[in-house]
Amino acid sequence: MKALAASCVLGLAAAASAQSTAELLHRFDGEPSVGALQRAAARLASLEPERVRSWQKRVRAAAALPTVKARVGRGTTGVLVTRGVDGVDNFSTVQNDAWHFDVEASWSLDRLVFDVNEVRVSREGQRVAARREELLTQVAQLYYERRRLQIDQLLDADARESLALDRALAIGELTAILDGLTGGALSARRGP
């Protein structure tokens, strides 16, 4: 009987704890999620995966396009060679004041099979992915460090004034860092 009573008390305590945890976390529903902040940070730093895919598509498309050269000019000077009746060549200069246009197109068909720029884009894509991973990790760590301080501040409302002040300053610092990384996405949702 005592075991049943103890089990019931522990079950009620666990249920109350779970409910109070949910209520505590519910207080932060007005703030953006960690995922929203990570997306904002990646967008601000231009580290979206779509950007690299766009580069890859453009490298492939560029290989099919020709290299075009155009020249425009006016007037030419040339040498006119005439052979006289005596068999002697006579040279004279001729000037022409007309406009002339030259257009030349050339294709490098070997680039359709392999383009050196594909390697460059691949390397840059790997660099972007590594930087994106670092940034997303940093945002998540700052976000949850800030959240822990907020929860500590709520649970320990009777803390010494110096401890409460330190927590408030640390929360403000983390908020500023997150806003800097996300272009103000945290403060924009929270309001003034």
Predicted TM-score (pTM) of the model is 0.64
Across the chain, mean pLDDT equals 84
pLDDT tens digits, 146-165: 999 999 998 888 889 999 99
- The better pLDDT of the pair 43, 77 is held by 43
Beta-ladder partners of 94: 78
For residue 124, report the phi and psi dihedrals to the nearest 5 degrees.
-65, -35
- The better pLDDT of the pair 56, 140 is held by 140
Domain boundaries, the chain: 32-64+114-190, 67-106
User: What span, in angstroms and rounded, lies between the C-alpha atoms of 114 and 111?
Assistant: 5
3-state secondary structure of 175: helix
What confidence score (pLDDT) does residue 97 get? 76
| Helices within the chain (DSSP H only) | 2-26, 34-44, 49-64, 110-113, 116-155, 161-182, 185-190
pLDDT tens digits, 2-55: 554 445 444 444 444 555 888 888 888 889 999 999 999 999 999 988 888 898
What confidence score (pLDDT) does residue 188 get? 83
Is the pLDDT score of 110 beyond 50? yes
